[in-house]
Amino acid sequence: MASGELGRTAALDGRLFRALFIDACSLLQRHIPALNAINVFPVPDGDTGTNMHLTLRAGIEELARSESDGLSAVAHGLAHGTLMGARGNSGVILSQVLRGFAEGLNGAERADGPALARAFANASRAAYGALSEPIEGTILTVARMTAEALASRPPETADEALAKASSAAREAVERTPELLPVLKEAGVVDAGGLGLAIIVEGLSRSLRGESLDVDLAPPGAVEAGWRSEAASLHRLDHGESGYCTEFMVAGEQLEAAAIREHLAALGSSLLIVGNSKLLRVHLHTTHPDGALAYGRGLGEISQVKVDNLEAQIRQWAADEPAPPVSATLDVVAVAAGEGIELTFRSVGVTHLVEGGQTMNPSAGEILEAIEACAANQVVVLPNNKNIVAAARQAAERSSKQVVVVPSRTVPQGIAAVLALSPDLPFEATVEAMERALTSLRSAEVTRAVRATTIDGRRIGMGQAIGIVEGKLTVVADDVASALRGCLEHMLSPEASLLTLYSGRDVRDEDAEALVAELRESYPGLEIDLVWGDQPHYPYLLSLE
């Protein structure tokens, strides 16, 4: 800690100035994870804390190299170091703030209250001057409101001035969500602004000899930052299996870096925020017990939450259907099964008509869906060869511009939707979707409901059959064998991805076990298991 000078300090000299900033830098360092967590503006890349700290540290390192103890020289040395070491937007602005601050102290040997008020005023001006389009609700606002608080009636002493600056900065931080909607939306305060407030508070605390072992991040803000970051970790976790594991751990001297290293080995999507006494952990792992046991070894754990990841992702997809890919084009798809519907919606299908092999929807039902579309241009995906004709009929009867892209299977329909481009003209999009139909091979596995003969092959009741590209190809005693038979038939040297859609009557663990076996048999294939929930067909599969 810097100050042995308890009580009132009237003015700062160069040595004291240096010591205060060293303490402010260490206070900032404590808050790196919290600042990173709430960083949503200008881009939510979670590096504001890191950048501000590295920038200020570069200034401190410059001070360590310099010989002079004169106040003006020290302030300029600090500013120069941060200028050369500035990282990221927040770092660049911080370096400008410190440059302005130093210029406000030009030639001074000691800084009392009024001198600090001038320095803060100059810092604010420099920060605004550095940006072509200053935006309020950021570090700029904090610099300005701090300067304004001191401008009207500056306190006499340095000590009182820093205390006043510090509380003004904290107040300004609280106001940032009102000024910048993106902050309000995320429920956070501005990370760069908070970083500056922490630095000012560090100066003040250091001068007064107060503890630097404090957590200045508003707990609610960190919580909100945590939520939005944790949510973003789930946005695209398709194909991930295992458990989303969360807990809080309270202890002494918790070392986030070491804990991060250990937990990272247990899974993915690791997120740790907090301080040396309380950490919050988020992890996707197939061994939640291992992660929790490790947590218990660190201290007392609470708020434990373990969720099946796949179920969580399904829930997310159901709660938040993807916004349309194209503003001018809607897609109607015929589908059966909650999982198939979700999958279609997640890639950009806007309207669904229930139906499939055993339940063909009428042209009227399809027409109703077409008319319900907001867009005037509509693509219809029948996803079954027996529904193509009804879809065409519906298309003809609609007053909209409707094209049927004749997908004969669900995987073909999926491939067609993926080929949607956000800004291609209608004809080109339709062409791309039609081209996509032939980009994969698809098959269906089901059970014969009665004994029959198809294409000259006798099938006993309850036997499993595999239909490849609409043609009966495999007859086997069980579903897994029929599936393997189809796969053998479809394999080609170019194939690299197998997608399995598991049906309504298939248990998750059985599907996972089957996939594990297939992975062993076909090490060269990537296998994606998707919960389809389709009736009658234990598995739909596609190979591409």
Partner 1 sequence: MSVFQKLRRLISRAEEPSEAASAPRLVRVVTDSTADLPAEEAAELGITVVPLQVIFGEEVFRDGVDLSGEEFFRRLEGAHELPRTSQPSLGEFQRVFEELAQETDNILAIHLSSGFSGTAETARQAAQSPAGHCRIEVIDSGTVSMALGFAVLAAARAARWGADLDTCAANARSVLERQRLAVALDTLEYLRRGGRIGRAQAFLGGLLRLKPILTVRDGGAYPLTRVRTHRKALDEMLRICVEWGALAEAAVMYSTSIDDARYVAAEIGRRCPGIPIHVGRIGPVIGVHGGPGLVGITVVVAEDAAPSPPAQEHPA
Sign of CA dihedral 12, 13, 18, 19: negative
Nearer to partner 1, 129 or 219 (CB): 129
Q: How far is CA 314 from the centre of its chain?
A: 17
Q: Is 91 helix (H, G, I), strand (E, B) or coil?
A: helix
**Site for partner 1 (CB under 8 A): how many residues?**
68
> Buried b / exposed e across 362-374, counting CB within 10 Å, b at 16+?
ebebbbebbeebe
Smallest distance from the beta carbon of 166 to partner 1, in angstroms?
Answer: 27
Smallest distance from the beta carbon of 3 to partner 1, in angstroms?
Answer: 27
Cis peptide before 134 (omega within 30 of 0): no
258 touching partner 1, by CB under 8 A: no
Nearer to partner 1, 372 or 497 (CB): 497
Q: Which segments of 325-425 does DSSP mark as H helices, in order?
A: 338-347, 363-372, 388-397, 410-418
Q: How far is CA 204 from CA 2, 23, 145, 169, in A?
A: 11, 10, 17, 12
Nearer to partner 1, 167 or 228 (CB): 228
Select the span of 43-51, 106-114, 118-126, 190-198 touching partner 1 (CB under 8 A).
Answer: 43-51
How far apart are the C-alpha atoms of 195 and 82, rounded to whole Å? 15
Identify the residue among 59, 177, 324, 466 touching partner 1 (CB under 8 A): 324
Nearer to partner 1, 306 or 317 (CB): 317
Binding mask 413-432 for partner 1 (x = CB under 8 A): -xx--xx-xxxxxx-x---x
528 touching partner 1, by CB under 8 A: yes
Side-chain-side CA neighbours of 518 within 13 Å: the count stands at 25
Which parts of 98-137 interact with partner 1 (CB under 8 A)?
Answer: 130, 132
346 touching partner 1, by CB under 8 A: yes
Nearer to partner 1, 76 or 164 (CB): 76
Q: Are 533 and 355 in contact (CB under 8 A)?
A: no
Q: Are 403 and 380 in contact (CB under 8 A)?
A: yes
Binding mask 474-503 for partner 1 (x = CB under 8 A): --------------------x-xx-x----
**What burial class does residue 166 get, using C-beta atoms within 10 Å of its C-beta: 0-12 exposed, 13-18 middle, 19+ buried?**
buried
Residues near partner 1, by CB under 8 A: 43-47, 50-51, 54, 80, 83-89, 91-92, 95, 130, 132, 229, 232-233, 235-236, 238-239, 257, 260-261, 264, 270, 313-314, 317, 322-326, 328, 342-343, 346-348, 414-415, 418-419, 421-426, 428, 432, 439, 494, 496-497, 499, 526, 528, 530, 544
